[in-house]
Amino acid sequence: MTGAELGVVLALLLTCLVALLLVQTARREAAAVRARAADDVADLRADSRRRDEESRARVDEVRALEKDLVARRARLEAAEARHQDQVLSAAGAARLASEELAGRQAEVERELESAAGLSREDALARLTDVLRTQATRQAEATVRTAEASARRTADQTARRIVAAAVQRLSVPTSSAVAVTLVPLPSDDLRGRIIGREGRNIRTFEAVTGVNLLVDDDSSTVQLSSFDPERREVAHATLQMLFDDGRIHPQRIESAYALALAGSDDRAVAAGHDAAERAGVLRLPHDLVVVVGALRLRTSYGQDVLEHSVEAALVAAALAAELGADVEVARRAAFLHDIGKARSLTAGGTHAAAGADLLRDAGESAEVVNAVAAHHGEVAAETVEAVLVQAADAISAARPGARRDELERYVERMERLEGLAAAHHGVVRALALASGHELRVVVEPAAVPDADLPGLAREIARDIEAALSFPGEISITVVRELRAHATAG
């Protein structure tokens, strides 16, 4: 046998040996698996027997409970039957007792009727009358006591509410005056305002109709006029001149034209500012413009716009104290004098004009009624309308709010200008220096130079006959002829 063959034989033997070892290992593992499987089966059988025993025990318990429930149900049914029997017996006894009591009551009533000589109905009617009389007297006494108590406390309560509303209001005195002070930005503007030989002041006064006073030692310029609209336009004109720095007659006239054209924008700004201070929201633009125009109206010297803001704050405070609608009271009080901006052109009272204006603007019926009723011209339909009346009276009656003398002064100045404007050819009449100076501008084509002295004397005679005034009134008639041309 060769070496190669011997190697093959050894390899085969080795392979056989490995195969035998593997077979033996597999047999041992299989035996172990069979042993474990047998143990598992035994465990499962034991567990199954235990569960079966528990199930049988539970079934026995359920059956015992069912028997117990059946026995209890039977006992309850028996007890219920006994209770029903007792109830029926008691009802029968009660019925018999009630019948016996009714019979006895009837006998007692017959005996009482016989002893009193009255039937049951008559006695009941008499008793009812007596009780009604006593109740009426007691109610009347209670009402009288309540009325007396209300009278004792009503004034005190009303004063407390009004005082609380007024204490929450902190606004300056709103009385208008005939003078507006404008601060000077710098001292070198004082000479420019005066101009050469005072020509700028004369031009400013002739254009605006407002007195312009400049003191050498003052840091302000004073604008004086009874007409708040003129003062407002003059103030805007002067502010434009200060901002520009160029001050001469032509520039004064152009600044006045710009200030006059910007009146609506200033009205809108004033209306928005007043509505914001009063706490009134969502005010239509058309109403804002009309409200802003109230800044140029006064009532017995009181600025109407400031009065409206003040009345709105007072009405809101009163409504909060009384539990009324705060926003309706605030809005109606703020708008209650809006008709004063239209009453002169629309006719009628300012309350009716304001109510019509607000109705057309789509305001609520509560606000319209409060505005129409704030002077008692129509009946107040809501509590808020009454509060608007009270707020209007509080704002007007507080110390320093109104000055009757200033109102008469304004009326005198307007009448003075009206007497001069009624003459033929007069274009414009301006009362200056508290009514001591009257400047009358005439149409050059209607009044020649030769007629100016006669017109001045005629105006003076009319003023002497129609007005009583202290001192003297200087009347100046101005006739100015201008020609303009453009080259190019």
Least-confidence region, from 234-248, 249-263, 273-287, 473-487: 473-487
Q: Can you give the pLDDT at residue 330?
A: 92
Binned at pLDDT 50, 70 and 90, residue 369 comes out as very high
Residue 419 to residue 240: CA distance in whole angstroms: 33
Binned at pLDDT 50, 70 and 90, residue 173 comes out as very low
Q: What is the pLDDT averaged over residues 147-152?
A: 70
Residue 205 CB contacts under 8 Å (≥ 6 apart), including other chains: 211, 212, 430, 432, 439
The number of C-alpha atoms within 13 Å of 104 and in the hemisphere containing its C-beta is 6
Residue 2 to residue 409: CA distance in whole angstroms: 158
Higher pLDDT, residue 377 or 111 = 377
Indicate if the pLDDT at residue 481 is higher than 60.
yes
Binned at pLDDT 50, 70 and 90, residue 175 comes out as very low
Indicate if the pLDDT at residue 168 is higher than 60.
no
Least-confidence region, from 212-216, 396-400, 413-417: 396-400
What are the backbone dihedrals phi and psi of residue 36, each rounded to the nearest 5 degrees, phi first? Answer: -65, -40
CA distances for 80 relative to 68, 69, 71, 280, angstroms:
18, 16, 14, 76
- Contact at 8 Å (CB) between 460 and 472? no
Q: What torsion, rounded to 10 degrees, do the Cα atoms 416, 421, 426, 432 define?
A: 30
Extract the runs of DSSP E, i.e. beta strands, from 309-385. none
DSSP state of 175: B
Segment 180-209, tens digit of pLDDT = 788 888 877 888 888 888 888 888 888 888
Higher pLDDT, residue 251 or 103 = 251
Indicate if the pLDDT at residue 401 is higher than 60.
no
Binned at pLDDT 50, 70 and 90, residue 174 comes out as very low
Segment 293-341, tens digit of pLDDT = 888 777 766 778 888 888 898 888 888 888 889 899 999 999 988 988 8
Identify the structural domains of the chain with CATH numbers, from first to last. Answer: 179-402 (1.10.3210), 405-479 (3.30.300.20)
